[in-house]
Amino acid sequence: MQGAYSLSHFAPARGGGIRGTASSSLFGGNSFFTSEIRKDARRNRLRCDLLSFLETAQYNGVDLLAITWQSALDILGAGATAEVRQSLVNLQMSFAFKRPISRYRSVEDDTLYGWLIRECTILCHPVVRQHRNLLDLEGVCWDPSMSDKFLRPVLVFKRAEYGDSHKFMTSGEGQAMSLTDRMSFAIDVIDAVIALHNADIIHGDIKPQNILVFKDENGMPLPRVSDFGYSSLVLQHDGSVALPMSKPWNAPEVLHHVHTWSLEEAKGADAYSMGLVCLWWLFDDKLASQQGAQDADIFFSEHGIALVQDWKKDGQIAELATRMIDMEANMDKRDQSFWRSFFEATFLQNGLKRCQDIITCLGNLRTSRVVDAAPCVDEITGDPIQDASVRPPRDFKITLHFLQLLLSHYRLRQHIKECLVERTYHDPDIEVRQNAAFQLAICYSVGFGCSRNEMEAEKWLKVSESPTSELSSAIFFLRDEQDTVYENKAIVALVRNGNFQSLEYGLEYRQEPSLHKVEEEYKREIHDLSAALGPDHVGVLNLRMILAGIMMDQGRFPEAEQAVRQTLDMYTARLGPGHQETLRCTNVLATILEENDRFDESKSLHKIVLEQRVRLLGPNHLDTLESARQLSTVLQSLGEYDEAGAMATRDYEGRLVVLGEKHPAVYESMANVASITQDMGHLNDSVWWNERALEGRTKVLGREHPQTLTSMSNLASVLQELGDYEGAEPLFLEDLELSRRTLGEEHQDTITALSNLGLLYMDMERYDESEQITRDALTMGEKVQGHDHSATLIGRNNLALVLERTERYEEAEELLREVLHSRERLFEPGNLLIATSMYNLAQNYAHQGRLEEAMRLHDEALQIRKTKLGEKHPFTLESMAEVGHIMRVWHRFPEAEDLLRTVLRSRVEALDYDHSDTHDALGELICVLHDQGKSEEVAEELGRFAEAQGAEEESDEEIVQ
């Protein structure tokens, strides 16, 4: 073996490193992933599957994360075998997801898992984990979007703030880098590749796109070598490696995929690619002009790539590098000496000599740059780390990662169980078969991935030849597990700070063929695990909350409420009322009550949670701020706008301090402030907030992100209310188009976007288009969500509204009756949603001249709203105004006047004189006063109104000045 060469910087290591000694080569060969060890022994290798991958993850301490890869996330990059997409979590930590690209998703499991295991193994190698310029693995999540019934792993990384080095170097910040900074940047990457080679790891595809650029602790650009999809960990020096050919970055000897290379030859090919990348970083802006090339970026244009390929054929590239160094006035003699030696070594035509000469070159590097170098050593023994075992023990254990597995997609657990059965029948190693049988005994004992069955558990325990006491110990271990524990310190910090958001399970399962089957499986798991581990086991409680989330997404709030209340009682008894999990469960219950229009109850719970979180976590913890935001929305629904605005502002300012301006949660807070100001009638202010939120989300998340589409729709809604239909229409159209493209025709957000467009066309008096679009939205909603889903009932209301605009009151009445009957069937008497349906149907009766029927429903709705919301709530005042209007029509003027004065006084207090609702109330009162001949009182009301408006205008002018 060639002597090790070292010039490495190492960050503090993370737990879970590879253990053991090397004894075999890699996971076998195939024609799909071209960089793997090819040996005669591959014919006898073991097949790779989900269990093999999970064993690798368990052995290396890789967390299984309950987060979702989403197609709407912005693409960071796409290599030959995988695509990488990014998702913000917070400014300090966000995720990039890597999964196989579409054309490779149908390959055999053996091939797919072979690649995943190989990359996971290399990413978890101590050298990769400890080197600051190598990108290591943060965890694994699961892609449910495959067409088959099983999930596939997705690798999770930190997000690169600057993207890849090609994107960075061609950006303003990259272009502004001095030559000194570029040299330091390049040396960081050289150092990283050397560290890989010292561990006998071949990268195989070094190019600017595979070097990501992060911000370091001082905000400076930090390169990190990534994308180990073509990499190999060579454990025996008679092994051979296949390399890809990424023009123009490939070594001249790497002309096609089919050839294989020795370890030293492969290192030489890596070195050549590294030399080309460094040449581009240092001199790209001058290479084109020096060579008279037409393309400014010669390494990336078609003509330029052909030119570079020609330079490599006869060694011109080394002469070119020397000329560029000699011409560089900003490079001192020491740096010139190093880079001249470096490029001479890396661009040698002889690949083997290339590797030998780079060792000599490294001595010059030590003198040209102050380096705090240290070899990679084992944290326990202190011995240098060079080799690592590529195959962990084949002993998958359910007891490891148990709670993480329970938080994952339910199909993952079913897949694990099926793989265990397959292994017990077909694996050639008897110990492996016995371990699989023992894990199956655990599965059947607790109901993991299958129905709980004691007879099956006993059968598999006998097959495993393990004593009953061992199974009892495993069950006791599971029963004793208290909380989900993560190995990754960055993930732990996210959880602790409230930044880590788990799956939105309702959204996750929308695309499943049968939501009923999903729900039944969760009910089965809850029943079985409760019997085996206890009804208050943390895993059971997590499953209960997941099931409630699925019910909530279907609009089944009464059922969800019952499930959450039961779970909350168990959390309180087990953990206490002030525990964070108890508070999260309380928050969910408050949200359900809000969705059921039980705002007072929701408000009380949100206040309790907020007070507890302020006391336990502090005022600026993200969980505390989230409580403030949620409380503001309930206060908004209650019409308590001043307090709602104060809470929303508190949330916004806190997130701004904690997360910084360019964070999605800050834009969510902006959208919340915009919504409250819209309800208060400050429409121009609302436009300003919505425009800021939309601009920020577009820049940070991309135009197609669901949150960006929400901001788009929100802004359009305010413009519609202002009467700016020409401004609103293109936004609604874009929202609909992008929702269809990114989420699909049948997604609820797409249906909502379609419905919004239909209501806009109604206001624009384009009634035919409005009716057709609204009918399409309703049909789709009934198909996707069902006849009685809350969103479907809103869609039916919308269609009735459009029909009423065209005076087709009888057709509208039929729809409104359906909605009222559905809500009376779904909710208890006195529910606010029932009152809303009564109000809508009463308005329809009034249009038809059926005032007695209208009065009966309006009065009933008014009593419910008074009881639930109070006399000054906007909905109560709305009902009061309609009752007053009918009394006026019936010439019951004194009663009408009393009601309408109450309405006007309350709206002035809540909304001031400038709000459109206040204008309406004043108009109604003026009419009833006029009907009674009270001209003096009419003049008084109009004078009071004019005086108040003048005072408001003067105040606004002072603010502007």
Q: Which residues are annotated as a binding site for ATP?
A: 98
Q: Which residues pair with 95 in a beta bridge?
A: 87, 158
Go through the chain and tell me how many residues it has.
961
3-state secondary structure of 616: helix
CA distance linking residue 10 with residue 374, whole number of Å: 7
Going through 813-867 in order, the beta strands assigned E by DSSP cover none
CA distance 647 to 643: 6
Dihedral sign, Cα of residue 528, residue 530, residue 531, residue 533: positive
Which residues make Cβ contacts (< 8 Å) with residue 474, sequence separation at least 6?
398, 399, 442
Angstrom distance (rounded) from CA 198 to CA 196 = 5
CA distances from 829 to 376, 820, 825, 841 (A): 70, 12, 9, 17
Q: How many Cβ atoms are within 10 Å of 942's Cβ, its own excluded?
A: 12
Structure tokens at 793: 């009932």
3-class SS of residue 722: helix
Cα–Cα distance, 153 to 485 (Å, whole number)? 20
What are residue 85's DSSP bridge partners? 75, 97
Q: Which two tokens stand for residue 608?
A: 């309790």
What's the CA gap between 434 and 432, in Å, rounded?
5
List CB contacts of 941: < 8 A, sequence separation 6 or more.
922, 925, 926, 929
CB half-sphere exposure, 641, CA atoms < 13 A: 21
Sequence letter at residue 939: A
Sign, Cα dihedral of 247, 249, 255, 259: negative
Cis amide prior to 248 (ω within 30 degrees): yes
Question: Which residue is associated with the tokens 């009833």?
Answer: 928
Binding residues: 98
Within 8 A by CB and 6+ apart from 505, the residues are: 546, 549, 550, 553
Task: Please give the helix or strand (H or E) that residue 798 lies within, else none.
Answer: helix 790-805
Structure tokens at 882: 């309609």
Report the phi/psi class of residue 850: left, alpha or beta, with left for phi > 0 and alpha for psi in -120 to 50.
Answer: beta
Closest CA to 373 of 7, 809, 800, 735: 7
DSSP 268-309: HHHHHHHHHHHHHHHHHHHHHHHHT-S-SSTTTSHHHHHHHH
The CA–CA distances, whole Å, from 527 to 450, 479, 541, 568 equal 12, 15, 11, 17
